[in-house]
Chains A and B, each alone.
Chain A
Amino acid sequence: MDVPAVAVTADPLDIEPLIALVRAAGDGAVVTFAGLVRDHNQGRQVRFLEYEAYEPLAVRALQRIVDEAKGLWPDARLAARHRIGRLEIGEASIVIAAASPHRADAFAACRYMIERVKQIVPIWKREHFDGGDVWLEGATADPDDEAARVKAYRTACA
Chain B
Amino acid sequence: MRVTVRLFARLKDLTGAGELIREIPEPATAHAVWNTLVAEWPALREYEKTMSVAVNAEYSRMMATVKDGDEIAFLPPVSGGNGQCAASLQGSPSRT
- Which A residues fall within an 8 A CB radius of B? 51-52, 54, 56-57, 60-61, 114-115, 118-126, 135-144, 155, 158
Instruction: Compute how far the CA of A140 lies from the CA of B8 in the bound complex, rounded to whole angstroms.
Output: 14
Q: Which residue of B lies closest to A155 (CB)?
A: B83
B50 contacts chain A at the CB level, 8 A cutoff = yes
CB A1 to nearest CB in B, in angstroms, measures: 25
The answer to whether B81 touches A118 (Cβ under 8 A) is: yes
Instruction: Compute how far the CA of A142 lies from the CA of B54 in the bound complex, rounded to whole angstroms.
Output: 10
Q: What are 20 sample pairs from A and B whose C-beta atoms fall under 8 A apart?
A: A54-B73, A57-B54, A118-B80, A118-B81, A122-B52, A122-B73, A122-B78, A124-B10, A124-B76, A136-B79, A136-B81, A137-B10, A138-B77, A138-B79, A139-B77, A140-B52, A141-B59, A143-B59, A144-B59, A158-B85
The answer to whether A54 touches B8 (Cβ under 8 A) is: yes
CB B20 to nearest CB in A, in angstroms, measures: 15
The answer to whether A122 touches B77 (Cβ under 8 A) is: no
- Which B residues fall within an 8 A CB radius of A? 6, 8-10, 12-13, 50-52, 54, 57-59, 73, 75-81, 83, 85
**In the complex, the 6 A-B pairs of residues with the closest C-beta atoms, listed nearest first:** A138-B80, A124-B9, A56-B57, A137-B77, A141-B52, A135-B10
Instruction: Compute how far the CA of A51 lies from the CA of B79 in the bound complex, rounded to whole angstroms.
Output: 9
CB A122 to nearest CB in B, in angstroms, measures: 5
Besides A61-B59, A141-B52, 11 more A-B contacts (Cβ < 8 Å) are: A118-B78, A118-B80, A121-B78, A122-B8, A122-B73, A124-B9, A124-B76, A124-B79, A126-B9, A135-B10, A141-B77
The answer to whether B13 touches A135 (Cβ under 8 A) is: yes
Q: Which residue of A lies closest to B74 (CB)?
A: A54
The answer to whether A125 touches B79 (Cβ under 8 A) is: yes
Instruction: Compute how far the CA of A18 lies from the CA of B79 in the bound complex, rounded to whole angstroms.
Output: 23
Instruction: Compute how far the CA of A136 lies from the CA of B24 in the bound complex, rounded to whole angstroms.
Output: 32
- With beta carbons under 8 angstroms apart, the residue of B8, B13, B57, B59 that contacts A142 is B59
CB B49 to nearest CB in A, in angstroms, measures: 8
CB B10 to nearest CB in A, in angstroms, measures: 5
Instruction: Compute how far the CA of A56 lies from the CA of B79 in the bound complex, rounded to whole angstroms.
Output: 17
Q: In the complex where A124-B9, A135-B9 touch, is A57 in contact with B58 (Cβ < 8 A)?
A: yes
